[in-house]
Structure 1
């Protein structure tokens, strides 16, 4: 890669890395898996940087790669294997209680993948409806409907504390 293109890549990644990692973490709820997803995303971005740098919406382009890498990881059978006998202890952020954080992450994990991706990109990634649609490769209407359903399911889970599943027709049903 030419030095000027490489410098642009490094500047872009340096500015966006914390946000990309946070988005990946919110999608998969595992810091180590989020690291892997971000790494494969940035590798793919580096390989295609010349083309990516010319994109109209570079952030949307990168988020689309990130979501695809996340979905690819979920499809692999080994991704469900726990390699240790217990999970490592992770410190909780100071501004929220452990219970609030755990409830939110549990509620996010209960959403179907598409709704989770839309909610994470829209509200945690702070993307517009249009940028989210571009990142996911779907229509604006699809983003709006998935977001509406996802937020309704999150409200239901957080209000009742009980996991929900999707009923036929897109409604919410308590387990």
Structure 2
């Protein structure tokens, strides 16, 4: 028997966090909605087992990560670099909005594994051990992927260096 009410309550309570994680993994609202929907469908089909496991949010985060990688592997986009950066938005935007856009663009240029590590470690605030568990890798892989991702972010968006350094220190 499926506990529909329990599933609905869980989704209602955790939707903002899960949506944010999906958005940061996918890099766009439409892709994030699709990613989250696929993960929630999988979780709903096995909700009795998922809820009995103890931490359904961690289980769904793991589904999100695996769905993200599965989708990426199916589509394999080629990155096209140019000598000229695209124009930035109008001058009336706040510094925070500009920083967010720069971060989104930089995250989009990371590999899926590097993006997942950054999202899980710094936006979801998971430990290295929990991140390794969610990703199904070793703690050493999480550490090396984090190092590579932060290095690449420093190169792709030097203006984020101060933000990245603050995150590394904390």
Q: Taking structure 2 as the reference length, what is the TM-score of the superposition?
A: 0.75
In 2, Cα distance between equivalents of 1:45 and 1:11: 14
Write out the 4+ residue segments of structure 1 that deviate beyond 6 Å after TM superposition. Answer: none
Conserved? CA contact 1:21–1:35, under 8 Å:
yes
Computed over aligned residues only, the root mean square deviation of the Cα atoms, in angstroms, reads 2.4
Q: Taking structure 1 as the reference length, what is the TM-score of the superposition?
A: 0.73
For residues 85-164 of structure 1, the aligned pairs below 5 Å read 96-159=95-158
Residue ranges of structure 2 left out of the alignment (5+ in a row) = 79-92, 161-170
- Worse-superposed segment, 94-103 or 65-74: 94-103
The partner residue of 2:64 within 63, 66, 87 is: 66
Query: Offset at 1:77?
Result: 3.8
Conserved? CA contact 2:26–2:35, under 8 Å:
no
Change in CA separation of 1:60 and 1:95 when aligned onto 2, cut-off 3 Å: farther
In 2, Cα distance between equivalents of 1:22 and 1:95: 21
In 1, Cα distance between equivalents of 2:127 and 2:153: 20
In 2, Cα distance between equivalents of 1:16 and 1:95: 29
> Is residue 2:47 matched to residue 1:27?
no
- Bigger helix share: 2
Residue ranges of structure 1 left out of the alignment (5+ in a row) = 81-93, 162-175
The partner residue of 1:8 within 6, 9, 14 is: 6
Conserved? CA contact 1:25–1:34, under 8 Å:
yes
Matched with 2:53 is 55
Matched with 2:34 is 36
